[in-house]
Structure formats: C-alpha cells, structure tokens
Structure 1
Amino acid sequence: MNEFDGRKINRKALEAIRIRAVKRVEAGESPEAVIKALGLTRSRIYEWIAKYRERGIEALRSSKASGRPPKLPGTALHKIYSLVVGRNPRQLKFPFALWTRSVVRELIRHEFAVRLSDVSVGRLLHRLGLSPQRPVRRAFQQNQPLVVDWMAKDFPRIKKMALEAGADIFFDERGVGPLRLSFWHYLGAQG
C-alpha cells in the first residue's frame, strides 16, 4: 500500500483516520498491523497514540491551523496607527510630508526592527482602517474669487519666503479653511 499523505485529505477525514487507528491499537491490534492496513508511518501512529494516552480523544480532533504568527503585536499596530494618523512624516524626521507605504515601511523598520514589503504594509494599513486618499481636484464648496485673490496676492509672497529659506511648500488636500484649501510650509532655517 502507498504511504499515507495527510496533506491530501480534508481535516475531518484525517481526524477520523487518527481516531480509528488509535482505537484499533487500543483494542489490541498491533501498531504494525495498523501501519500496514492504513499506510501510516511508524512515527506517526506512535505520535497519535502518545497524544491519545496523554490527553484523550480530544487530542486527536482536528483544530484550526494557527498559521504564521504576526510579525507585529497589537501594541505595535496601535503605535503605528497613532504615529501615522497623529503626525506627518516630517515630524518623525522623514524627508517628505506625505505618508506612503514606503515611508510607513521605514517607520516600522525603525521603530520595531521589522522588515515588511510594501504589499504587506498596504495590508497592514488596510487592517488598521487606513486607505490611500486621492486629492480632490477642486473642492465643491470652493469660493473661486477668493482662491484667485489668494493665488495673486498671498501665494507669491509665501513662495518667495520658501525660496529664500530653501524650503518646499506642500498643499494639504484635506480642504481645511474657508477656501477649502490649506497650506503649510516648512522653513528649514526657522523650524
């Protein structure tokens, strides 16, 4: 008979085979005869018998596979969430002001010494309820005359200040403020 391969049998059928094999041995049949009849390996049947004698029939029942343990515990997930939601990457000494999977990956590597792929970081962020946000082209409540006025008067002054300081200007697409457009600038010399 071919050797038994439990990977090709569903969990319930495998459970029934384990119980039947052990009951036959417990009823007085030799383990060698059960091995031959069911195509088992010697180590496997003795492992099942030991489990049965130690913890009873429940030890032979199927259980859900535990799977790979997570690389990050729940406390780490909570910390990641609070860092990503509560701050911008510049506050954590990253060179850019927008959260990306790559930036979050570097944050995780730095904070927890765990290396994840961008895909794994995307899954983790999804599990935390965070999703990529695309900027709205134009807020529906936008007051166009005020925007034009701001672009003509205030923005050139801000742009000049940033240029003199060697800083970058980033726009926050969340739409904060009366214009439904907010900005902030990072002045490296002053900040």
Structure 2
Amino acid sequence: MRYAQGGGLTDERREFREGLRLAAAERFARGDASSAIAKDLRVSVRSVQRWRRVWVDGGPRALRSAGTASPPRLSEAQFAQLEGELAKGPVAHGWPDQRWTLSRIKTVIGRRFHKSYTVQGVRKLLIRHGFSCQIPARRALERDDAAITGWVKETWPLVEAPRRRSTPGSSSRTRPGSR
C-alpha cells in the first residue's frame, strides 16, 4: 500500500484499520453483503471483498495487523541526535552554504550513524517526523515589503510581455501557400 504522506501508517492508524477489518469479520460471520459493510464502515467495496477472501482462507486472525513493514533504521534517540546535527547547520558539516538538501542529510546520516538511506528514504524519514520542505522558519532580515509592493505595481507591468494577438501571418495556418 502507498500513502500520500509517504511514510506508512502510524501505530494508532494501524490499530484503527485493524478494528475496521475485525468489525467486517463479525459482519462476514452474520452473512452481510459486502456493499452494506463497505457503506457502514466507510471503506471501498473492493477492500471489503479483499478482506472477505482473507477471512474465508484464514478466519478473523488473518485480518489482524502484521505490524510495520520493517523496523525504523534510526531509533527515536538517534533521530533526536540527527535533529541536533541538523540544527548545527550545513557549514558545521563541511558544506559552503547554509542550505540543507536531502543528499546532504543522507550523507550526515551515513557519517554519524553508519546507516544507508536513499534520498527518497531520507525524505520519507523527515516527513514522518514532521519536517517539510522549503518553508523558512522566518523571513529574511533584508526583506523590504514596501519595495516589493512598489516593484509589483510599477516595474512588473512594464516588464510583463503584452498578450500575443493573432495577426495575419502569426500562425502557420494563415501563411500564404500553407493550405
């Protein structure tokens, strides 16, 4: 299964989903229709049908959660250490600028914890722990809102290209001899 957040299910969400499957198992035993179960549990009919096949083959026990697909490579204590390393900044780790990238974080994880992650694995790890990309914690000190407003009102209209108008010869269909 794939999830929009890219990080799988939390323990609470996994328990909730298992509860849905076990509630469906009780309804399977009563002989309820898949469409009625899906409507009441607010899940897809296809999921209920899949659960029913598993239930027929292995009973309610087969519908229990198997737990996480794999244990996390970094423990919570190690992730706390990683946060401390990230707080020091990229310059403290040898990069010339103050910009964290996924590949740089991947390198820090490899150096500090001797664990190998892919770039997408680092992304999922960070998202799972509440990080987001490209959202500065504060605005730049040099930011001048009045200058920005003036530029948008005065300079941008002069720079913005005028809308292209259809004139004779501006399209390949209107060129002489193109028919």
Q: Same fold (TM over 0.5)?
A: no
TM-score, scaled to structure 2: 0.43
Larger Rg: 1
Q: Which has the higher contact order (CA 8 A, sep 6+)?
A: 2
TM-score, scaled to structure 1: 0.40
